[in-house]
Amino acid sequence: MSSQIVVMVFEVVGNGICVSSDDGQKVHDQIAAALREKKKIKVSFLNVESLTSAFLNAAIGQLYGKFSEETIRESLAVAEMEQEDLALLKRVVETAKEYFSDPERFKKAREDALEEKDAD
């Protein structure tokens, strides 16, 4: 792999409030483009004040549906991230890996849950 790309989340989003999946998608698009080019990516969360799982699912979680876990692990690094945000990222990644390993199971579980709710 060649050069490293640095994605500054604050600059991509335009502020330190990273809560929407739309903003996460902007970050995802930059990461995915670099992964397709076989580049190493450092995602910097410098100056990020607020972070949600919706943002992280869009930015990083969905990568597991397009790229192998090995490719992501070898190519993607995060930096300047608060400890509690790292814990949130870990949960998002674990859920994404589980989901993309068997999306039909998740779809069925969601449908079953909605049917139970409708029956109430």
Q: Tell me the mean pLDDT in the region 7-20.
A: 97
Instruction: Find, among 10, 75, 73, 19, the residue nearest to 45 by Cα.
Output: 10
* 32, 55 Cβ separation under 8 angstroms: no
Host domain of residue 75: 4-119
Helix (H) or strand (E) holding 5: strand 4-8
Q: Which residue has the tokens 């992501």?
A: 72
Q: pTM score, two decimals?
A: 0.87
Of residues 113 and 120, the one with the higher pLDDT is 113
For the segment 77-97, the average pLDDT, to the nearest whole number, is 96
- Looking at residue 12, its pLDDT comes to 97
* Cβ proximity of 29 and 62 under 8 Å: no
> Is the confidence at residue 1, as pLDDT, over 50?
no
Domain count, the chain: 1
Mean of pLDDT values over 49-71: 97
